Structure 1
């Protein structure tokens, strides 16, 4: 490759990076306004609803993506993602790996509708967990097993390590069950923060795959994945900071 070709590739990469940063900034702004509008709607504040009508620059595509984001993040009380994760972590702190895997399935599917179309995913997740390191089943679950287990499930519903969607992601995409996809991933990430790299690599592979297809459905998925990754990253940062806010500091 000549120097001019190398320079051209670098310029294209820099341009794509700038476009992504601009896109993320725009998504943050739209997400904040979208949340405010939803809260105003729930409270019946008609004046606020008019004031918070779709902001300039928000497309139908962005609005539909953000609606799915709200489905994922709008749960409150016991079923709020962070609260549910904390309860699970407390209840499984000293259990065996076999019991942990069974509890994990119940946790991941809590308050998710028992629809026929989701049964293949539920069954595949159960089969995957049953087959994971059975020689460890009687041992107390540790951080290493938690990490590997979460990574395996993240892989199952994203790419399974390949540069294209896994059968389970395709199943959810065909049914447009993106809220279920997002909710399960969010719940896994709240249990295993070190799994973020596995998650980020899989999302990057999915985005690259669908970005090449150029049809409207694929572009919607790309936008959804961008918004989801941005929101989950910020949510995890806030959750992590909150957990450590009141931890005693060692002063030497």
Structure 2
């Protein structure tokens, strides 16, 4: 008696090489589009807008990234790696206070370079496991950095890890508000906050010059201006 092999089930069949290549190209196009839009406009950009920017349909975007958190996890994986690396570099500094200053400046600079990442560091995404894992790793290192800097007598005893969260939230707001009119305003904020964190007599880097009145006025005008039709397409909630 001869037997015939049963056909493969749909789950066992592998996609054709051409289909796999197309899927990978679409994925890369989506990631590139999301990086561009998140960097310029923050995380308020809608999934529909990202699909348009990538030149794919909403269904294609949903197949590659079923949720917003999945997309954010993929887009910012390398930046979260850099965030964790900044903590490790600060801990490797033989001068704990210098390491603390370097960490604060480096992380706030990362926020200034990418509005989306500025938002990521000021929010939490429980469904994005890899991203949150790297955040937790950086957080544990920062706790050690705080303890070392306080033991050295240069960081105020009442400074806590919550103060970093507050700083990152504040810096994200400054970056978003002044990105065009006064793009270096965040440096002034960081300099002033380091002065608030330091014990009396501690050496500090020079304070950045305050933004010009006219630059801040332009930023304030832009914040007061209603969103245009173009801006409306960028968000899910409008």
TM norm. shorter chain > 0.5: no
Larger Rg: 2
Higher helix share: 1
Question: TM-score under structure 2 normalisation?
Answer: 0.31
